[in-house]
Amino acid sequence: MSFEEAKKHVEVLREQLNEMSYAYYVKDAPAVTDAEYDQIYHELVGIEEAYPDLITADSPTQRVGGTILPGFTKIVHEIPMLSLGNAFNEEDLRDFDQRIKKIIEADVAYICELKIDGLAISLKYVDGQFVQGATRGDGTVGEDITQNLRTVKSVPLKLKQPVSIEVRGECFMPKKSFVALNEKREAAGEDFFANPRNAAAGSLRQLDPKIAAERNLDSFLYTVADFGSITASGQEEALEALDRLGLKTNHERAVCQDIEEVIQYIRDFGERRSELPYEIDGIVIKVNQFKQQEEIGYTVKAPRWAIAYKFPAEEAVTIVRDIEWTV
């Protein structure tokens, strides 16, 4: 195969593999069998080995970097990653709704999103290429964990459009992966993680990306920090724009016309919570329209147009160690 033929062929293979990964990890709807994926993947590896100049950063073969980092460099978030005020009962929710109504005369629609219990991350794309991933840190200064986020299969290395944006979301460990990881650590006599959130945080803090790559981490994105060239008039539209770009968003979201509908949504998910394949610690309620969000504004550390309703702590998923009784 000539260099030119190889160049064309690797582009076709990359496109195929990225589509398959998108279907499997973002849409949770596998399009091909693992064997079909592996066969094309190894064909790509073979050509890239023969023609190393053809290797690009967004090739699926480049997800797991080789180097073990000495530490994480600090990243300053130009747009701070703020936190959310909390609500613990229906009265808190009605108070929130009254505060909003005092500022906005017009009707206000809310959007409800599951509050994923993972680690807040920020992803930067330039011309559609994933260039940097960071933790929230203290909201202004986070850590560069790009190498580890590249191993998260639902984080696309290349967007479906060549746009430059910054998005925020949650990196989490699905419940099944959490239980499997703890069983493995238990068998190896290692300490186990108390909950999936700690397991995700511990995995993203690994300096060796090979370890992060084994942890089956996943992601849901929920905020567009820097819109670049994409436009959206509200949160629901922004999430649809993220879907079109090939980023993973949580589809249990719902627009509610008033706080009663919000309370009903919360009751529903209070029941459905234990069946979800990932942990949630609450529901995030946001004013949907961006114009209204701007009018309502922010406190020093949190948006006034959003609130996190917290569920009571779920009975912990624990593995009780065999206790050797000493007589």
Binding region for ligand 3B8 (CB under 6 A): 82, 84, 113, 115-116, 120, 170, 222-223, 284, 303, 306
Cα 213 to Cα 22, 69, 148, 149, 175: the distances in Å are 17, 15, 7, 9, 17
Between 84 and 123, whose beta carbon lies closer to ligand 3B8?
A: 84
- Cβ contacts of residue 277 below 8 Å, gap of 6+? 174, 175, 176
Between 151 and 223, whose beta carbon lies closer to ligand 3B8?
A: 223
φ, ψ for residue 319 (rounded to 5)? -110, 110
Q: How far is the CB of 177 from ligand 3B8 (least distance, A)?
A: 18
Can you tell me the distance from the alpha carbon of 64 to that of 282, in angstroms, rounded to the nearest whole number? 33
Residue 138, token pair as written in the block: 């203290």
Q: How far is the CB of 110 from ligand 3B8 (least distance, A)?
A: 13
Cα 326 to Cα 319, 323: the distances in Å are 21, 9
Between 115 and 215, whose beta carbon lies closer to ligand 3B8?
A: 115
Query: How do beta strands 86-87 and 306-310 pair?
Result: parallel
Is the separation of the CB atoms in 306 and 285 below 8 Å? yes
Among the listed residues 27, 101, 115, 210, the single catalytic one is 115
φ, ψ for residue 94 (rounded to 5)? -65, -35
Between 116 and 245, whose beta carbon lies closer to ligand 3B8?
A: 116
Q: How far is the CB of 220 from ligand 3B8 (least distance, A)?
A: 6
> For residue 19, which of 158, 173, 163 has the smallest C-alpha distance?
158
Q: How far is the CB of 13 from ligand 3B8 (least distance, A)?
A: 35
Ranked by CB distance to ligand 3B8, the top (closest) residue is 82
**Side chain identity at 181, as an amino acid letter?**
L
Q: Give the count of beta carbons closer than 10 Å to the beta carbon of residue 17.
A: 19
Q: How far is the CB of 246 from ligand 3B8 (least distance, A)?
A: 19
* Active site (annotated) includes residue 115: yes
- Cβ contacts of residue 13 below 8 Å, gap of 6+? 40, 43, 44, 47
Can you tell me the distance from the alpha carbon of 38 to that of 152, in angstroms, rounded to the nearest whole number? 18
Between 16 and 293, whose beta carbon lies closer to ligand 3B8?
A: 293
Between 18 and 292, whose beta carbon lies closer to ligand 3B8?
A: 292
- For residue 141, list its beta bridge partners: 76
Q: How far is the CB of 222 from ligand 3B8 (least distance, A)?
A: 4
Active site residues: 115
